[in-house]
Structure 1
């Protein structure tokens, strides 16, 4: 048994927990692509479908900015060539907004700890994360946000709507609750959580299970 859930199953678990997620499709053949386009339209993102690979960007396992069917078909073949044979690929709508990370892990001293910070490919580079011992109040949460780089996102900038901190708090609390209630989960990682004003969408997730 794999020690972690694949992206498809991870997002479905997060959705079940009440966390807003982007719709995800598993295309196993090129014939699936037209149906997906009819439902979602363009632009789209294609991602490698694998039960073994978690850091997709390191092996060029994510193809963004797909705007026509030919690009989507090329992405399908490209991703399948670097994954397990017959695995196909995942297809999602491409969301615009700021990229954040929300996760949860177990601390031997404090118990369930929820992490919130800058996400996307810069998450490991910038190390801008806040940690909260679950459960935590909205006042605790907003205090930490105001003293972090995330505070800049709470203000309108060049047409981008301000981040709804209350919605982000709800997502963080839901992640903590999911982790706390299911002891077989060792770690949760939503990266990225796309935020655009009041709209927050988890588009990639990883759930690691206890060994």
Structure 2
């Protein structure tokens, strides 16, 4: 009976010891698993934080390329702006050159009133007529270009005749010729009529004599007096 108790006590102690060891192993394994999980979370946090604070080589490459592209765009825009500015300067220069050519073609002169264009009768009208000739169009087109170039400048259109005929007849003819030029500029070349003032002066303002010094007729002089003057007010020649 005593032996059986001793054996039983020994077996019980062995079972108890084995159970304690197993629990200790389970606790140790659990601690190890939790430690590993904590370490993984710490590693993941460090990796995530490091990635956000310190770009990778790929990200650095993208940033550098973005800066290069931005600088290239700025340089391109600057170059394009310079080219545009140069083109605009050339356009202005060409425009002034064209105006200079028109001024030369029309033999325009600078006067106290402004830029004066003298249009002889032979270019605009048949003798003693006030209907514009068909071949007057190229000359009137140049006049319209000059007027448009000076934008809002007022323009005087004055009709003149020679001394042949009565004063009243010449006055009416000069007025009709001035109005014919004004109407052509407004209807055919779209000049604002409010800028144009048409007047007739008949034979009262000749630019040369109608007769020679001996009192005889001067056909060449009278032809010069038959004219329409267009004055672009107070605009200098370039």
More relative contact order in 1 or in 2 (CA 8 Å, sep 6+)? 1
Task: Report the TM-score range of the alignment, normalised by the length of the smaller protein.
Answer: under 0.3
Structure with the greater alpha carbon radius of gyration: 2
Length-normalised TM-score, structure 2: 0.25
Greater share of residues in helix:
2
